Each structure stands twice: as C-alpha cells, then as structure tokens.
Structure 1
Amino acid sequence: MPSPTASPSLTIRGTGSYLPRTRLTSAQVDAMRGWAPGRCRARYGIDARHVAGAEETTSFMAVEAARRALDMAGWTPSDLDLILGACGVMEQPIPSTAVLVADRLGLGGSGVAAYDVNATCLSFVQALDLAALKLAAGEARRVLVFSSDIASAGLDWDRPEAAAIFGDGAAAAVLEAGEGAILARGFETYAEGHGACVLAAGGTRVNPARGIAAGEDRFRMDGAQAFRVASRYMPAFLARLLARGGLDRGAIDCVLPHQASAQALRHAGRALRLGRDRIVDIFAQTGNQIAASIPTVLDHAVRTGRLRRGQTALLMGTSAGISLGGAVLRF
C-alpha cells in the first residue's frame, strides 16, 4: 500500500442548500410526455425534481444556500476572505458566478477574492481541494464554496433519458482550518469518454454571432457510454483513493455520492462493497443537480445527523470528461 499522503486541515463550519420553489413530479412528467402513469418513476427511479423560476438565477440560489451555511457557522459575509464558485454551468461566461455571488452578499466593495472552479459535476470536490491548499498556505482564513446549477435551462425533452433525471438547486459550505481534514483525495480523467456528456454552446467553438445549430444549445448525454467508462475505472480508482490516505472501507462512516442516476448510485455501493445504510441517497427527491448534487447531499447528511463531528465521509462521483473524483473528509 502506498504511504498515506499528508492530510491538509479543513473544517466545514457550516452547510446550506436551496431548492427552487417549483417541484416537478414524475407524475407530471408522465402527463407532459403522454406516458402511462408511473412510467417515469419506474424507469428512472425519481419521484420529483425542482425547477428554477425566472427570478431564481444561479447566483440567487447560491446566495440563499450560502446564507444558510453562514448562519450554521455563526458567520457573516464579512468574515469571508475567499469565495470559490463551483458550478457545473456558469450563470454567464463573464464575469464568473463567484463575482455575482460576492456582490449579492454585499461584498462588492470588499476586495474579497472571488472566482470559479469548473469540473462539471465534480466542481465542489475540486474547489474543496483548492480551499484546503489555500488554507494550508495561509492565503485564506475563511472560505465559502458554493455550487449552483440550473439544469432545466439546457434540457432537451426529446431525449428524456437525460431530461427526466435532472433537477435544479444550490448548496454551499463555509470552511476554515481546524480539527477537520482531507484525509485523501484523487481525480482522474478518461478523455475517451469526452463525447458522452456535451453542451456545445456557451464557449468560443459555437459562436452565437454566427448562429447556433439545432440542438447545440441543449445538453446531450449518452448515458450508456458514460456509465460504461465510469464503471470500468471506478473500483480501482476508489481503491487508490483510500490507499492514499491509508484507509480501508470500514473507516468510512458516510458516503456522499454525486446523485448521477439511480443506476450510478447502485453501482457506487457495489464498487465500495459497503451497505446501503452508509450511502446517502436523495436522488428520488432531487434528481441529478450537476455540481450542486454533492454539496446538497452533504448538507442533507449534516442536518439529518447522518454525518456528525469526528466522523469520516467519502465525497465521490463522476463528471463529464469522463472524470472520476473523490475526497475523504474528517468532518
């Protein structure tokens, strides 16, 4: 077994999440698509997902989640000295979503550093890693990390295998050095799967000034390809991740997986060889919230007592790329 890596100090002082006011049930999806009653629930394993209204922008939802995390910590926005946006899809290309959130928090004239980190569905895990490095280097003292995503803005309901499982929402965590730590972390990309999850518009390759072809402004997913690539590499990835921290599976009190799909959550349990009681699964009530999934599960676990001080949690998942990522935290 490799020697355990150093464990950077990182303590989560508060978590928060936000779900849009509109709840779209699978029964409503059945009616909308002309499906037999119960088909959406049976096929995709989801009861409902939330859909953002016009006023519930990415930055609005992020601030709602951030304020709840700050309240749990007993902090105010002025206590922060770094804001990391960790969204799968930004509110706009320029400036970053973190800048918009800083302004909404009343920090527009503060000089507090604010910028985005993007690894699609694994953005929150990558931002936690960056926050730990900043704290260890003394470049930050109190950090806000948020993920906020509006999947509904880019769904193509003619491709229900993707559209039916996604939901909108936001979640956040506020961090500082302390008794907590990142015990292990890892990130691997298998670019052979880069075509499995694609949103073509929004960058420089598909230029709105020259026109956008049909479908380029909608999310495209080959779920079978994404699952094949991820499932091929995930068991060995998780073994390497735990080995880096000198950990075994029995040391994990709580698994907080990306809520990619009902099938992906079942596979996570098999890959870890852990009982379902240790895996936090809220997919049926939220769907796949892109980057917001993992921090939403984290907030759920904290607020329901599934994750308590001193316990060890594994944050893990997959993202477009195809990438695999995870972090083991002492909470």
Structure 2
Amino acid sequence: MERRFAIAGTGAYLPKETLSAAQYDALVGLQDGQVARRFGVNQRHRASAEETSSWMAAQAARVALNDAGWAPESLDVIISACGVMEQPIPGTAVLVQRALGLGASGIAAFDVNATCLSFLIAFDRALAGFALGDWRRVLIVSADIASAALDYSDPEASVLFGDGAAAIALEAGGDHQRLAYGFNTYSDAADFCQLEAGGTRVRLDEDIDAFRSKARFKMKGPALFTTTARLFRPFLQTLFEGSGVSIKDVDCVIPHQASRAALDHLIKSTGLPRERTIDVFADVGNLIATSLPFTLDHARRQGRLKPGEISLIIGSSAGVSLGGAVIRW
C-alpha cells in the first residue's frame, strides 16, 4: 500500500574517539595492514562511558529537530529503533524523552527491535500511525554501541562494527511516497548472529563465567553471508513486483552497511552502477540498527534524495531477516 510522508529533518552523531585500521591490527592480533586489506576498514568510532546510547540518540535528535524547525514539545511520539537497548527496562525511548527535557510531557515513547532492521520497523509503524490519523509528527532515534560487546579475538565479528546514533523526524502528508515494503524472516539461521546474555535465559546468578562469555557478540560470518546472499535476489524481485517501478529506475540505494562483502554483493545483485549506492562502510562501519538511518541522513545531506527520484532502502539483520522499502521522493 502506498504511504505518503515527509522527512522534515535528520541528524546523526558519531563518538569523539576514533580507532584507525592500524590500531585494530594490533587490537585483534593481525599483521600490519590486514584489517584495511581484508575488511575494507579505515577507522571506527568508539563511544566513551559518557556517550551512552540515550545520550548519543538525544544529540542526533536535537540535530534532526533543529533541521525540521520543530520544538521537542510538538512531537506526537518518540520511537527508539536500536539494535541493542541501553538497558532492558525501561526502554531507550523513555531515556531519550527525558534527555530531551520531555520527562513530564506525556509524549508517547517506546522501543521497537529487529536488530539491524529496527529502523525499517519503526518507519513502518510511523507510516501506519499517519494513515490511522494517530500522529502528525514522529521522531525515530537509533543508537548503538557495538564496542560494548565485541570479542576482539574474532576479527570478523569485531572490526566490522562501529558506534553511533541517528535520528529522523517524519511528518504526515508530504510529497514522499513509500511505493513498496517487505520484511521476511528465516529463523533457521537464528544462531548465525547472537548476543545471548542480557535477557532471561542466561542468568548471572547461576553461572557468572557463562554469563560473561555470552555477553560477547558471536557471528558465524561465512554461514550468515551465504544464507543472506542466497535469499537476497528473490527478496529484491518480490519487493519491486509490487512497487510499480523497476530496479533500473532506482537513483539511490541506501543500504545497511553490513560489511564490504555484503555491499559488493548488493551492488552486483542490483546491477546498478556502484556510484548509486551510498557507501560509508570504510570510515563508519556497521552501526547495527543505526546503520540505515545514519546512511539515510548522509544521503540527504549529500543531496541524493531529489524530488521525483527513486530510492531503495535495503538491509539484512540477525534472525536472519531481510527488509526493504522503495521510496519516491
């Protein structure tokens, strides 16, 4: 179903500290130059203890609100779309609401989660709220601190990721149209990406060593890539079948920055010239759920979202899930 909306403002925040590829070589125990050559990494941003998820999200939110010309009090809802919340209870959206000075406002604030595709789910929920007449102004925030749970003994499961935040201010009506949307999950691959601790199954008081071990992110990289690559082209074909446009009509691809290999496969699968795909992987990396809104903000600030043109927002996530949206600006 076609959905109309407007992006009123966007914002992003990257932590102050950066680690170079050479520093990652030493950190993960590889020879000089291997992180850059094998993984396509130039640098990564790493959050300090003071740069919490909610704090970074609030910084990005203030930029987006200023860009939109909105007062925080004018919001109808704040949706947090993080890969990993700052804490289990209460959710990150509540903490962001408070950080924006809205703690006594009553403005709705809640979280959604689909790991790296959380923004797509929040975006869909926002458009549904517009269609139902429930909301006029929505703020979506994403913030992820991958460095909090990385295992640097596994280069592939660590050097791909960075920390950061992004925010998108959406308004009902407007000239933008979502022409198609898809979200598919294949849970046979659920074990390929895991962060097992932090919920109710792995319990601190039963085995602290097991808890500590399972508080590190683990990824079966080759299996994950093979599964995602096999599913990607059929998913893309189905997505465009209901859009009214062709993949050849896409002017700008806004992808999840999963890995260098994933981006190369995406470009090959679309058949589009490489320059049509927004690529910030080398300097920013995989920001988990923040990746999509961060890349969207980057594309917008580069003037890549021109009226009447077509964009593809696309990505994959742990689960394994594939998600995408076709947008006419």
TM-score (norm 1): 0.96
Give the aligned partner of residue 234 of structure 2.
236
Partner of 1:32: 27
Q: Is the 8 A contact 2:28 2:153 kept in 1?
A: no
Tell me if 1:106 matches 2:104.
no
Aligned to 1:217: 215
Residue equivalent to 2:302: 304
- State which of 109, 116, 128 in structure 1 corresponds to 2:111: 116
The Cα of 1:34 is off from its aligned counterpart by 4.2
| Matched residue SS, 1:203 | coil
Measure, in 2, the Cα distance between the counterparts of 1:101 and 1:256: 26
Matching of residue 21 in structure 1 with residue 19 in structure 2: no
Query: Deviation at 1:210?
Result: 2.1
Structure 2 partner of 1:3: none
Match of 2:269 in 1: 271
Is 1:249 aligned with 2:247?
yes
Indicate yes or no: 2:184 matched with 1:188.
yes
Residue 203 of structure 2 is aligned to residue 207 of structure 1: yes
Distance 1:324 1:242 in 2: 14
Over aligned residue pairs, what C-alpha RMSD do you find? 1.0
Aligned-residue offset at 1:25: 0.8
User: Structure 2, unaligned stretches of length 5 or more?
Assistant: none
Q: Give 1:71 deviation, angstroms.
A: 1.2
Whichever residue aligns with residue 77 of structure 2, its letter is: L
2:89 is aligned with 1:89: no
Deviation of the 1:283 alpha carbon? 0.1
Alignment check: 8 A CA contact 2:15 2:51 kept: yes
Q: Shift in Å at residue 192 of structure 1?
A: 1.1
- For 2:296 and 2:94, locate their aligned partners in 1 and report how far apart those are by CA, in whole Å: 24
Q: Separation in 2 of the partners of 1:115 and 1:181? A: 25
| Deviation at residue 104 of structure 1 after TM alignment | 0.6
- Which sits farther off after the overlay, 180-189 or 209-218? 209-218
Structure 2 distance, partners of 1:225, 1:31, is 27
Within-5 A mapping of 1:73-88: 73-88=68-83
Change (3 A) 1:200 1:226: same
Residue in structure 2 matching 1:58, options 53, 62, 65: 53
Shift >3 Å, 4+ stretches: none
1:55 counterpart SS class: coil
What SS does structure 2 have at the residue aligned with 1:204? Answer: coil
Identity %: 52
- Give the distance between the partners of 1:87 and 1:278, measured in 2 at CA: 27
TM normalised by structure 2 equals: 0.97
Task: Say which SS state the counterpart of residue 205 (structure 2) adopts.
Answer: helix
Name the CA distance, whole Å, in 2 between partners of 1:76 and 1:330: 27
Distance 1:263 1:288 in 2: 12
1:316 to 314, 317, 323: 314
Corresponding residue of 1:287: 285
Q: Could you tell me which residue of structure 1 aligns to residue 65 of structure 2?
A: 70
Q: Distance in 2 between matches of 1:173 and 1:272?
A: 26
1:245 CA drift (Å) = 1.2
The Cα offsets for residues 61-106 of structure 1, whole Å up to 9 and x where unpaired, read as: 1011111111111112111111110000000000110000011111
How far is 1:306 from its partner?
2.1
Partner SS state of residue 10, structure 1? strand
5+ long unaligned stretches in structure 1: 1-5
